[in-house]
Amino acid sequence: MLLSFRAHRAVCYSARRVMQKIQQSFQVRYSYPVVFTRRALSVENEALRAVLPPPGRSPHKALLVVDSGVEAARPGTVSGALDWARANSDVLVLAGEPLVVAGGEACKSRPELVERVHGLVRERGLCRQSFVWIIGGGAVLDACGYAAATAHRGMRVLRMPTTLLAQNDAGIGVKNGVNVLGRKNFVGTFAPPFAVVNDLDFLETLEPRDLRSGMAEAVKVAAIKDAGFFGWLHAERARLARFDSEALERLALRCAELHLEHIRSGDPFETGSSRPLDFGHWSAHGLEQATGGELRHGEAVAVGIALDSLYASRMGLLGAPEASMVLETLSDMGLSLFHPALESLDIPGALCEFQEHIGGELTITLPSGLGRKVEVHEVDASVMKECVRELARRAGGIEK
């Protein structure tokens, strides 16, 4: 981390008072590795050890948190992590027993999970230089990452995402969040991880719904940033629908590259009013809330992408054949393009919540041709409602 500091003082005199002003300005540079590997917990694999800093006078301490869904789908994950830690005890020592937590979106709405992590950090004597090592899906990474970011005002986090969506999007970025007051990610932090290690073997144990959710994020980023990648997704949609391992690996890697490229060259801490990579997300967040988490994030994003693609086409931003390609790609991958909750979605209200979450003026990213995007600051609610009705007609009013 490089830190540059500049400060200057301006003194303004008036007949009534003296005002002193100190203007402070500094920059912080972040750097963290995102590694793709296989059998990451094997004692022969050097990937985990390579991302850790050399030990000081003693090994680094860590609290291990594991998603219970991962352990259920892949028995031996916890014991594998313990074996790895024992084999590398000169670098990393676990502070007490692992914390195994229930995953899924519901865990982000349970304040006791954050409190539990805080409590263990205190009870086990972990400090700001210690690690919270999280193995799990995006929701567990989000909630426990938030707990780590707020304990001691920020601890080191070692992420091991286990879902496709987490490996190519949610688990590689700089955000953490929990759901409060019925709002998704209403409370959270911008806190880059110390390192991310993606074990592609975890993808082999995922349910089809989880794999498709990760594919939706790939379609999202390709449609607005990389026409070549979108063309590949469209051409390989049948292989992806069969969950071909080689195709999934390529999808994960390229999708992660595009997300990291945006973080590196864009506005990683979202200080402006724009979230360019949240194409399709304004309605997706509303659908997730309306369904109480029944609709998974990627599934909601697929519906949101379909909706915004139709809207972009009707507004003359995206050609009708291109919009059809987006919808066909999603559908042929096995993703539904409609959910009954969409028909009752309060469009102005959902847009308002999205605007409040970001701040500033309303900014929605739409495709302006495959691989290109445009930001709009107004949405015609009547046209958007027509697009909802079109998706309902296409689906026959029944979720696939």
Residues 193 and 274 grouped into a single domain: no
pLDDT-derived band at 296 (thresholds 50, 70, 90) equals very high
**End residue of a domain, out of 205, 222, 237:** 205
Percentages (nearest 5) of helix, strand, coil residues in the chain: 50, 20, 30
**End residue of a domain, out of 205, 229, 255:** 205
- Find residue 4's DSSP bridge partners: 27
Say which DSSP state 170 is in.
Answer: I
Lowest mean pLDDT segment, chosen from 2-11, 174-183, 340-349: 2-11
What does the chain come to in residues? 400
In this predicted structure, the answer to whether residue 4 has a pLDDT above a threshold of 50 is no
Residues 317 and 261 grouped into a single domain: yes
pLDDT digits (tens, 9 = 90+) for 58-102: 999 999 999 999 999 999 999 999 999 999 999 999 999 999 999
Helix (H) or strand (E) holding 27: strand 18-28
Residues 158 and 301 grouped into a single domain: no
Q: What is the average pLDDT value for the chain, to the nearest integer? A: 93
Average pLDDT over residues 351-374: 92
**DSSP for 298-353, written as a single string:** HHHHHHHHHHHHHHHHHTTSS-HHHHHHHHHHHHHTT--S--GGGGG--HHHHHHH
Residues 223 and 155 grouped into a single domain: no
Cα–Cα distance, 194 to 33 (Å, whole number)? 8
Residues 176 and 219 grouped into a single domain: no
Identify the CA nearest to 135 among candidates 32, 38, 40, 255.
Answer: 40
pLDDT for residue 15 = 53
Lowest mean pLDDT segment, chosen from 17-21, 243-247, 337-341: 17-21
Residues 261 and 383 grouped into a single domain: yes
**DSSP for 219-253, written as a single string:** HHHHHHH-HHHHHHHHHTHHHHHTT-HHHHHHHHH
Average pLDDT over residues 376-388: 97
The domain tally of the chain equals 2
Average pLDDT over residues 301-305: 98
Average pLDDT over residues 159-174: 96
Domain span at 383: 209-395
- Which CATH number belongs to the domain containing residue 155 in this structure? 3.40.50.1970
> In the Cβ-directed half-sphere of 139, how many Cα atoms lie within 13 Å?
22
Residues 222 and 201 grouped into a single domain: no
Residues 174 and 285 grouped into a single domain: no
pLDDT for residue 108 = 94
Average pLDDT over residues 13-24: 77
- Judge whether 97 lies within some domain: yes
Q: Report helix, strand or coil for 144.
A: helix
In this predicted structure, the answer to whether residue 19 has a pLDDT above a threshold of 90 is no
Residues 160 and 222 grouped into a single domain: no
Cα–Cα distance, 228 to 209 (Å, whole number)? 26
Say which DSSP state 169 is in.
Answer: I
* Residue 309 main-chain phi, psi, to 5 deg: -70, -45
Taking each helix axis as running N to C, give the angle between helix 381-395 and helix 347-358, from 0 to 180 degrees, rounded to the nearest 10.
110
- Judge whether 134 lies within some domain: yes
**End residue of a domain, out of 205, 220, 236:** 205
- Judge whether 311 lies within some domain: yes
Cα–Cα distance, 195 to 98 (Å, whole number)? 19
pLDDT digits (tens, 9 = 90+) for 105-134: 999 999 999 999 999 999 999 999 999 999
- Judge whether 300 lies within some domain: yes
Q: Report helix, strand or coil for 2.
A: coil
Identify the CA nearest to 110 among candidates 203, 29, 179, 192.
Answer: 179
Q: Which long-range contacts (CB under 8 A, 24 or more apart) does 230-234 make?
A: 230/325, 230/329, 230/370, 230/371, 231/370, 233/329, 234/325, 234/328, 234/329
Q: What angle do CA 257, 175, 186 make, to 5 degrees?
A: 140
- Which CATH number belongs to the domain containing residue 262 in this structure? 1.20.1090.10
- Judge whether 19 lies within some domain: no
- Judge whether 29 lies within some domain: no
Instruction: Compute, in degrees rounded to 10, the torsion defined by CA atoms 164, 370, 263, 109.
Output: -50
- Judge whether 330 lies within some domain: yes
In this predicted structure, the answer to whether residue 9 has a pLDDT above a threshold of 60 is no
Q: Are 101 and 145 in contact (CB under 8 A)?
A: no
Cα–Cα distance, 375 to 361 (Å, whole number)? 11
Q: Which long-range contacts (CB under 8 A, 24 or more apart) does 373-379 make?
A: 373/224, 373/225, 373/276, 373/279, 374/317, 375/274, 375/276, 379/311, 379/347, 379/351
Residues 162 and 251 grouped into a single domain: no
pTM of the entire predicted model: 0.90
Q: Residues 176-209, buried b or exposed e (16+ Cβ, 10 A)?
A: bbbbeeeebbebbbebbbbbbbbbbbbbeebeee
- Judge whether 72 lies within some domain: yes
Residues 200 and 219 grouped into a single domain: no
Residues 285 and 225 grouped into a single domain: yes
